[in-house]
Structure 1
Amino acid sequence: MTLRWLHAPDAWFWITVVAAVLALVWAFARGRNRPRLRWIILLRSTGLLLLVIGLLQPLIRRTYVEVKPLSWAVYLDNSISMGFHANPSPVSLKSGIQDLLAAWSRTGAGIDVLQFSHRIDPYDESNYSLEGTATNLGQILEDVEARKDQLAGAIIITDGQLTEGQDPRDLIRQGGVPLYTIGVGDSTPMVDVYVESIDVPTVAIKGEPVEARVTLSSTGEKDHRVTVSLYSRANMLGSRFIRLSGEGSRSDVKFRFTPGEIGPASYRVQVSSVPEEINVENNSHRFDITVLKDRYNVAVLTGSPGYNTAVIKRLLGKLPRVKIDHFVQVGNSFRPKLKTFWSTPYELIVFDNFPATPLPRTWQNFFARKIIAHQSSLAWIAGPDIDRDAARSLHPFFYVRSPGNLLEQDLTYPLHFTDWLNSLPFLKSLTTGPQALHQVDFPPLHPGLQLETTRADQWIIAAIGSGDLSVPALILGEKDILRYAVWSPEDLATTYYQLLGSPDQDAFSHLFERVINWLLKTSGDREMYFRLNKSSFQQGELISITGNRILPTGPSARGRVKIKSGEDVINTVDLRYQPEQDRWEGEFYAPSPGKYTYEVEFLEEGESSTQSGEFRVQESQVELNQVRLNSRLLQSLAQQTGGRYVPWVRHEQAASWVQPRSRTEVKFSELHYMEHPWIWGIVFVIFVVEWILRRTLGLP
């Protein structure tokens, strides 16, 4: 024990002390005949002396030795890869661990047993299931560092596969706790061959070759010879032999094929299995391609050529891969002859200002057979020269009838759009932006054909007139696989030309193009074809999305992907256009397990178009990508910290690692004189007793 003064006494201190002593002697001499008065003087002097000593701030330091027992931390890897090693088996591993824990407990040393995967939990034999989704060794080093004053050492039983967190070697501190490691498994990875990814367009043109690049990954032993085959349904399109080098290597296989059917086409890549492969479900991968026609034949039947005819041909001519055959009615015949018309399959037949004269019944019968056999779509665009009676022969093809003239034929009426414009996917984009059809100032139109629909499932996109005095202007419908459209006002050209030169000049053209593309089925009901590289992912896995827009994309177009959980947007990723592949691409990481939707959205000049899809995220199985013992990592951890390493086949040697240990620490305790309440308590008691004595003697 030592005593030192934080403030050294100076001259004034000693003058005060001497004066106080002289005063005390003098007071004792004066009160020699009054003993009680001497007690009062003694108490007051003692209290004042304690206060004066406090001015020097005395510090009392006591040194003592403390022996602190240390415990051992045991960390058991509970990840799923631990259960896939051939040696030891899960049963053997658990049994061996119990033997080690029992041996360590018999030494009398303190044992703290923990299990870990993506987090550290207390060990529970009933919950040690080897089903953890990750191996995070970095968190063990952080936990050991936080408890270094309490630990004699740390023992880690693991296969050393890092699938999450920091590299533990980066977290080692000098003079830290020694790490003892037991390596589980074989250093040679388990054998697995799987399809990692397939790079193939989402859309193809019929008759044009498509190239698919398949990336294979392999783990385990070297020199596996496998067969990679591409199937369309049950038909093999191609097969390749390839030799895989294993050990996490990747190899590419290319297939070149020509889609033969129009519409969605499903394909499958199949890789042959190899001996002792741990997972054969990932040897197969499916993908879809939407096959579009290479050319669309369109027939235009004109009853009487007029202003509308030139506009129709101009707008049709702007569409890609469209070939137009134009037939003009002259009396009861056509020029050119209809021989070509009857023999050619047309995707779309357009009636322009047709019919101008009555049609023979035989013509109607032939026409009905033709559109059914060729699955042709129909469009009827009214004009001023239509024969109203002859037009009735076309009503059954469009499921309409004539209720009579509700509107005056010689007057014009405003055009307005209905809610169906916002309901149909291929028209929805025309409802937003500066050229939204609802905001365009269309010129008033003559009624032309005044029709009403005969089916409840037809779509009236636009009407002219107002209130009860209105008739459909644009009718769309689909019966089975046949699509049809009717434009009933007779002055189509007036609408087109009066909008030219105005800010809204493209609005009507966009409407015409969307309707014709829908009739031609160039993109079905969709303008975009995007897909994810798979439909099911593991948590944290990188997800790729690729695709194309069918409609032309301008320089201002901007694409993005929204990832939704229910109605909540949890992530938004921009799409990038890759000119070399002529497609849009994006990437994002799989969120937590669950079911999600993605929405691809393109914004261009105020217009938007969307495509949606779904995907699932499962618990991460990245543990199974390489089931092997990472002995190099475990040996490094042991060597750098002063511990030891043994493989599981010699795990019995680890029973001698744990011994009772303690740490001897020299500690100090300090007593600050004026900071302890008992000093002030003594002073207070002295002055209280002194005050009581004074009151007893009748002193003030």
Structure 2
Amino acid sequence: MNIGFSKRLRPILFFRFAVVILLVLLFLEPKIEFNKEKTSELNWNIYVDRSLSMSYHSHPSSISFVSGLDEFGKKLDQRGIRSSIIGFGSEIDSIWSLGNKKLDGISTNIGLVMNHMEDSNYHGIAGAVLFTDGQVNLGTGIPTEVINKRVPIHVVGIGDANPMVDVEVHSIDAPPLVIKGEEADLDVTVLSHGQINERGNVTLYQGNKLIGSKVISLSGGGSQEKVRFRLKPSMTGRANYRVQVNALAEEINIKNNKQTVQIQVLKDEYRIAVLTGAPNFNTNVLKRIIISNPEIALDHFVYRQNGFQPPLKQFWDKQYDLILFDNHPIAENHKIWKNYLKVFAKKLVSHQSNLGIIFGPDMDETTVKEFLSLLDIKLSKQLLEKDSPVGWTLTENWLKLFPFNSISGIDRTHNEFPPLLPGLEIDSAGTKVLANYTSSNVEVPLFLTGQKNSLRFFVWTSPDMYALFYRTQGTPLSGLLGDMVDPILGWLLNTGGDQEIYFRTNKNSYQQGERVELTGKPLHRNQFVDEGVVNIYLNEKIISTKPMIYDPGTGLFRSRFWASQSGTIGYEVEFDQSGKSHLMGRGSFQVQESQIELNNVYLNEKPLQRLAEVSNGVYKNWDRRNDIVSLIQPVSRKQSLAYIIALNENILFFICILGLLTSEWIIRRRIGLM
């Protein structure tokens, strides 16, 4: 072999040998292990209470506190101590160093500080300095048990140990619903804070009218005083009562010195007038259902040859909650009742009466048409034969309007309901049809409800309502007519249907972070026993959902939740029936921003001292905060890091093999071996 050629083969042999060696190493999977030490400086976390109460201390003032805290941070920097300022209140933030130094948090939750340190398993933390007044009103409170003693927590107490003066109407306990003329108790709880030894005057108003006044002793220190007022409402409707306690000279928060509560006052007796043009089979059945309700007083006017008995003067003069036309007007009196149309319309409006029309066999349809026009209802073309009974069925509107009224046969097919003779056929536009005839493909209303402004009305179109009573006796449907008429009467009298439960909060205005108590009272005890839900809204968006629980002992529904956000908070109460959700009540209340922080403006010193003790830290008040600077030393931590390099997992190893093979290929080309 040529000596020169042999020399040119040497690099090729070297590269080939190196590749073989590397492949053998790859097959053997060798690992390289070595240790390296790393030193890192640990951080001191400075936690700053940014709650609103911090800005109300006189010593230090909010301005002095901010400047003093900045000075504290600078002294740490001068000593070469690594630190970071972290704010807390209802949440953790790090915006103090960005220039946001406002003290406006809605609450104080020191538990957030503990969680923040524990989340990192205290890694990288030398210790902490906590600036707070200790007024915890959210979370788990100030820890008093042994925590990680290797990470000390120094505490700087802010404020004076003497609480600032505050008096508040804490709660008003009153029934959501009372009957006119009956007595009801209104229980008021007054809280007082600070060093107080004075008398307070608690007054109760309805509108601008003074209802009562009582003197109580205010002793402060978070003490409670109970005051009871006895009410006897004389007017129906929604009654608003205002409770207030006089403001004290040194009081810092007077927004909570008064509260209002709303009570629904129902009538003790409801009056119904039934005008019968000609007695018929419906009359007796209808009267029987009405008089079975002890809360209803019935005046029955029947047309005779010489006019109504008793005379209609009583009808025109007296105020009725509901007027029912039973087979009226008829041919014998239709002319005079046409003349009464405008007067009757004025009576409905001035007396705020509701109207029901029950079609009878003798009614004059021409006159009825004019009275229906008062309700914006028109007659339609006759589609069903009046002489042939037709089956009927309840519509979905029935369950929507009366979701909790059980009705005999409600789950049965319409063929099991007694068929009825068609009568009036009306246009149902603008109304709620509760039952339809089931003939062919057309929908003809059997009975319907509606509302025009404040006037509620009901129209029954069949002349033989009585058949639902007599033809069902001795059958499972025997209660059918009563089960239908009772809730309709309740709806017309504004005592049922869409208002089966009355709800109210224990006051109308809350402070952010305060607990809200919502109470509901059913019109009929034991009618509702299932739990409901309360959907809580802010700006028409659901922010929370809470349970509404029934208390069989009191017969009331109750729900409790926190006023977490400020503004006008709305609520809706829903119950489930037959797999569907039904709205049973709604309302709203006001939440004032951040005011609950002002109820306790003082230094809560003892638990803060305990926190410092169990964490191997020290406690100092604000004036001696700089003593803590001398206690804080730079802390570093050495770490021994072990490194393991597996060659078969290292990309550089494979790049090396690829480089050798590439070099061999280049040399081969140069010497002409390829």
TM (norm. structure 2) is 0.78
* 2:610 equivalent among 636, 642, 649: 636
* 1:532 equivalent among 505, 508, 513: 505
Matched, 1:75 2:47: yes
Q: How does 1:413-432 map to 2 (within 5 A)?
A: 413-415=390-392, 426-427=401-402
Equivalent residues of 2:392, 2:438 under 8 A apart = yes
Q: Deviations over 1:356-410 (max 9, x none)?
A: 5622866766756655553333322222344567767856666667678654432
Distance apart, 1:659 and its partner CA = 4.1
Equivalent residues of 1:148, 1:176 under 8 A apart = no
* Distance of aligned partners of 1:152 and 1:320 in 2 relative to their CA distance in 1, 3 Å threshold: same
Equivalent residues of 2:408, 2:477 under 8 A apart = no
* Distance of aligned partners of 1:358 and 1:458 in 2 relative to their CA distance in 1, 3 Å threshold: farther
User: Which letter maps to 1:547?
Assistant: G
* 1:447 equivalent among 422, 427, 435: 422
Matched, 1:107 2:54: no
Deviates more, 1:110-119 or 1:193-202: 110-119
* Distance of aligned partners of 1:438 and 1:530 in 2 relative to their CA distance in 1, 3 Å threshold: farther
Distance apart, 1:499 and its partner CA = 4.1
User: Which letter maps to 1:380?
Assistant: I
Match of 1:411 in 2: 388
CA distance in 1, matches of 2:494, 2:335: 30
CA distance in 1, matches of 2:484, 2:412: 8
CA distance in 2, matches of 1:204, 1:560: 24
Q: Deviations over 1:92-142 (max 9, x none)?
A: 111112222222322233334333332253641511222233433344345
Match of 1:86 in 2: 58
Match of 2:351 in 1: 374
* Distance of aligned partners of 1:269 and 1:95 in 2 relative to their CA distance in 1, 3 Å threshold: same
Compare CA radii of gyration and give the structure with the larger one: 1
Deviates more, 1:186-195 or 1:339-348: 339-348
Distance apart, 1:89 and its partner CA = 1.0
* Unpaired segments ≥5 residues, structure 1: 1-60, 677-700
Deviates more, 1:611-620 or 1:280-289: 611-620
* 1:127 equivalent among 74, 89, 100: 100
Equivalent residues of 1:359, 1:390 under 8 A apart = no
What secondary structure is seen at the aligned counterpart in 1 of 2:99? helix
CA distance in 1, matches of 2:41, 2:424: 100
Q: How does 1:187-266 map to 2 (within 5 A)?
A: 187-266=161-240
* Distance of aligned partners of 1:331 and 1:186 in 2 relative to their CA distance in 1, 3 Å threshold: same
Q: How does 1:141-540 map to 2 (within 5 A)?
A: 141=114, 153-170=127-144, 172-173=146-147, 175-338=149-312, 340-355=314-329, 358-359=332-333, 371=348, 373-386=350-363, 407-415=384-392, 426-427=401-402, 435=410, 441-449=416-424, 457=430, 461-464=434-437, 466=439, 472-523=445-496, 525-534=498-507
Distance apart, 1:457 and its partner CA = 4.4
CA distance in 2, matches of 1:171, 1:393: 82
Match of 1:650 in 2: 624
Distance apart, 1:459 and its partner CA = 5.0
Equivalent residues of 2:174, 2:185 under 8 A apart = yes
User: Which letter maps to 1:374?
Assistant: H
Match of 2:515 in 1: 542
Distance apart, 1:623 and its partner CA = 3.2
Q: How does 1:533-572 map to 2 (within 5 A)?
A: 533-534=506-507, 541-551=514-524, 553-554=526-527, 557-563=530-536
Equivalent residues of 1:538, 1:620 under 8 A apart = yes
User: Which letter maps to 2:558?
Assistant: E
What secondary structure is seen at the aligned counterpart in 1 of 2:632? coil
What secondary structure is seen at the aligned counterpart in 2 of 1:288? strand
TM (norm. structure 1) is 0.75
Equivalent residues of 2:392, 2:414 under 8 A apart = no
Distance apart, 1:154 and its partner CA = 2.9
Distance apart, 1:322 and its partner CA = 0.5
Q: Deviations over 1:181-218 (max 9, x none)?
A: 21111112222222222111112211112221112222
In the alignment of these two chains, the number of paired residues is 656
What secondary structure is seen at the aligned counterpart in 2 of 1:135? coil
Q: Deviations over 1:14-72 (max 9, x none)?
A: xxxxxxxxxxxxxxxxxxxxxxxxxxxxxxxxxxxxxxxxxxxxxxx999999876554
Match of 2:665 in 1: none
The alignment's C-alpha RMSD in Å is: 5.5
CA distance in 1, matches of 2:508, 2:137: 23
CA distance in 1, matches of 2:193, 2:320: 54
